[in-house]
Structure 1
């Protein structure tokens, strides 16, 4: 499977952002030709700029720069049918669809930069770096590679529990960065590994990354600390991987150091880290563990920045009325108060153009009122609220019986940490007596995940990993039908152009 890149100068950090043409193959990539690697890896300062280039590659608008999250959201039950994503939302796209090709290409394009970093540092025996810094860069690259593989396997393969041993097809595992002389070799036509094998590689990369990444990237915390991988970023992603895999003991073991580190705390408002001033730059706190950094001048650009998808009155708008309907509060826009309405509705949603819209990816106007799309909106990947909810869910599911006071009380505390800062003030806090069954306790946690992590790419996969269908939703006459969790159309097709070029690839059923 060949994935040949053309190269283009773009960023000050690395001097390039690799881009691919639609006619190129999508896993083997040509080394950039517009720079000399011997120069790039000649000094510690230049190597650090090359490391920043790995994160720049994550800005890819076809992938984690926005659309990987949007593609999950538009297939969940939190959004209305959007004309721009009509076929995707109703699971009716062909294998030649540009969405599938873009996501596939974007994922391996982003991953290439991490593999390239590993290759160049390894063949230069560390390039003169001290051991700690060398290990850090390798750890950052493995974190990024794991994140890309994890996102790809969720987009293009059935969830881990779709078969008893996860032996169903996943995605190709790409661990190298072939140069132009290697890209056409038969060995580079990679087959799809099983979902189990992909997860094993992700876990290996994240485990090795945790061992060498720093606790913090910036002594001052905030934006700088969230923009590059840390131990807790890798631990947080690993806890999610184990949650999706159903290994709840490992979730507990992995998430506990994050909670116990003292490095993270919840803000008083769930909206704090998304409330962006007019200039468009967030003021992130320790609640934000890892985000993909953007700016007004360095983002996926036209029709690709995530803020554009969630802004009213554009041709690609995605409104969120079903999510509003799920939150506690009155049916209409009037009469909502702190006493009867969830704060995530009061703070994070706006009603305009006869629809409800999320404000997570917008910015304020100069006068402080809600504004339009934030072209430089940062992409949330790992946040502290998710870690608390991962841990709460794992503690309840891992308990041998119900009730199980030894861990139920801790799970309840974490659940209430998230819920209590946003629930209507007239709603009581949960107690252990609020739940008469384990299933009721789990459902409360899943509901809080839906409310707290909305439009961050979680909801669809939370349903699927729990064996739940996406219910029918939307506003008549545009009702999106129910999507069974193991439906052959619940995942994206392997791009037909890739199957043509690589006979080792096997298409998903029903495509």
Structure 2
């Protein structure tokens, strides 16, 4: 990741001596150290946390884990989208998500393993940071320690939310009573603790919320540059993720409580404190102009020397190799998505086939991958307002309209689309499909509402009662964890 330049350094410190003492020709360590360096693959905890720069290297390593091509660098978002009805698979390639698209994943499938292994690897990095800071309390000051722990808890929460969204039954099915995933809360450097039973879905969600509450208190209000503010977690990032998590849980009052911290009760909608998060005037700015605007609350950055390439890149999947085209019977054909909508400029038509070009950079793939954008928060807020026990349809409609009219200024929602809670909720779901297309939301939006995954092309529909509704635990975990 371009802002995390200390990561590589942190993994090179095992070579015994880094420099000669200037002018004297004296080494900074003795001959024994030079001839017997600490192996780079087994760096001791003492070395990893012995200077502020090396501590920062470990923090940066967490973000690098998130950016893995199999995780938020690309593949996780792709798998999250293609399970829904918006995309048609063209090449039947199991290495580019065909099993997920076709609902033929089994425990041995590549698609069952990638998110699981990437998420738990990153979770372990966060736990090692938290444990390491506790074991070395005087390397960085107390305020910096609190911030780093807050960042670790944010990253850990995002990882567990990703896992429970794929591998656990929806929370609303039984208020989280179903089996979830193992909660690993300590850093591991050996396989000694591999065996760990699954926590319930409710227990996993409780840990996610606890981590995000802690992160909100510890994270900085903002960073010194727009780049850092976009690619490292700040307070508003944690709040925004909580709106997503509570929406998944069907806890609409809690969504409203969190969203109101960063969304005013009237337009213009702009976060009143911390980073001044707001929608940009044009959606094109966010995806092809500047990746570090205040709309982008958390993104995975790319540079020419550090980007996700090949079959995990969203640019490769959707734009270059065209593994998937848009389903004419999906959101592409919805009347609310008019030809005048600026979001249609992120589509390309070849004959009668339409492709998503939201990620339009060719190799090297330099489009930042969006994880949280401010319009999502507005739509989370709007849905919660429409669905809570005492709805506020007026504000929900205003928020929905703000998102839609940013890209199609002349569009007006008909009264039939907003006059009842049910109709307004349906309109918000349509808007999510337009605004967040290709950003990893569709299958989760279906599952969190216990809706059938619609058929598309040759892929069948999947109901909430079918085992294919969620991903199976991969064989690699089954073979190494005897508590499952």
Q: Normalising to structure 1: TM-score of the pair? A: 0.81
- Higher share in helix: 2
Where structure 2 has 5 or more consecutive residues not aligned to the other structure, the ranges are: 12-38, 265-270
Distance 1:233 1:312, change over 3 A: same
Distance 1:354 1:35, change over 3 A: farther
2:106 pairs with 1:94: yes
Tell me the equivalent position of 1:256.
260
**C-alpha distance after superposition, 1:287-346 (max 9, x if no partner):** 1101122222212333222221112435xx22224456334489xxxxxxxx8432211x
* 1:485 aligns with one of 453, 464, 473: 464
Describe how 1:220-299 pairs up with structure 2 within 5 A: 220-221=225-226, 223-260=227-264, 261-262=271-272, 263-275=276-288, 282-299=290-307
Distance 1:374 1:272, change over 3 A: farther
Q: Distance in 2 between matches of 1:349 and 1:97?
A: 31
Where structure 1 has 5 or more consecutive residues not aligned to the other structure, the ranges are: 1-10, 19-30, 277-281, 331-338, 364-371, 506-511
2:97 pairs with 1:112: no
1:39 shift after superposition? 3.4
* 2:374 aligns with one of 384, 388, 398: 384
Q: Distance in 1 between matches of 2:40 and 2:156?
A: 19
**Residues 307, 374 of structure 1: 8 Å contact kept:** no
Q: Distance in 2 between matches of 1:303 and 1:353?
A: 25
**Residues 331, 434 of structure 2: 8 Å contact kept:** no
SS at match of 1:275: helix
**C-alpha distance after superposition, 1:423-459 (max 9, x if no partner):** 373x3x2376643432111000111111001111111
**Residues 312, 353 of structure 1: 8 Å contact kept:** no
Describe how 1:308-387 pairs up with structure 2 within 5 A: 308-313=316-321, 317-322=323-328, 323=330, 325-328=332-335, 340-345=339-344, 347-352=345-350, 355-363=353-361, 372=362, 375-387=365-377
1:205 shift after superposition? 0.5
SS at match of 2:108: coil
Distance 1:89 1:390, change over 3 A: same
* 1:123 aligns with one of 135, 138, 159: 135
Distance 1:237 1:431, change over 3 A: same
Distance 1:138 1:353, change over 3 A: farther
Distance 1:87 1:45, change over 3 A: closer
Tell me the equivalent position of 2:166.
155
**C-alpha distance after superposition, 1:14-41 (max 9, x if no partner):** 22899xxxxxxxxxxxx97354443332
Distance 1:430 1:196, change over 3 A: same
Tell me the equivalent position of 1:466.
449
Tell me the equivalent position of 1:7.
none
**Residues 321, 357 of structure 1: 8 Å contact kept:** no
Greater CA deviation, 55-64 or 292-301? Answer: 292-301
* 1:189 aligns with one of 192, 195, 198: 195
The alignment of Structure 1 onto Structure 2 pairs a total of residues equal to: 440
Tell me the equivalent position of 1:496.
475
SS at match of 1:145: helix
2:111 pairs with 1:132: no
**C-alpha distance after superposition, 1:137-165 (max 9, x if no partner):** 000000000000100111111211122x3
2:403 pairs with 1:418: yes
Q: Normalising to structure 2: TM-score of the pair? A: 0.85
**Residues 416, 430 of structure 1: 8 Å contact kept:** yes
1:487 shift after superposition? 2.3
SS at match of 1:311: helix
**C-alpha distance after superposition, 1:89-126 (max 9, x if no partner):** 1211221112212221111112121111111101112x
**C-alpha distance after superposition, 1:253-312 (max 9, x if no partner):** 111111143311211222321115xxxxx4321011011222222123332222211124
SS at match of 2:324: coil
Q: Distance in 2 between matches of 1:55 and 1:15?
A: 13
2:177 pairs with 1:167: yes
SS at match of 1:178: coil
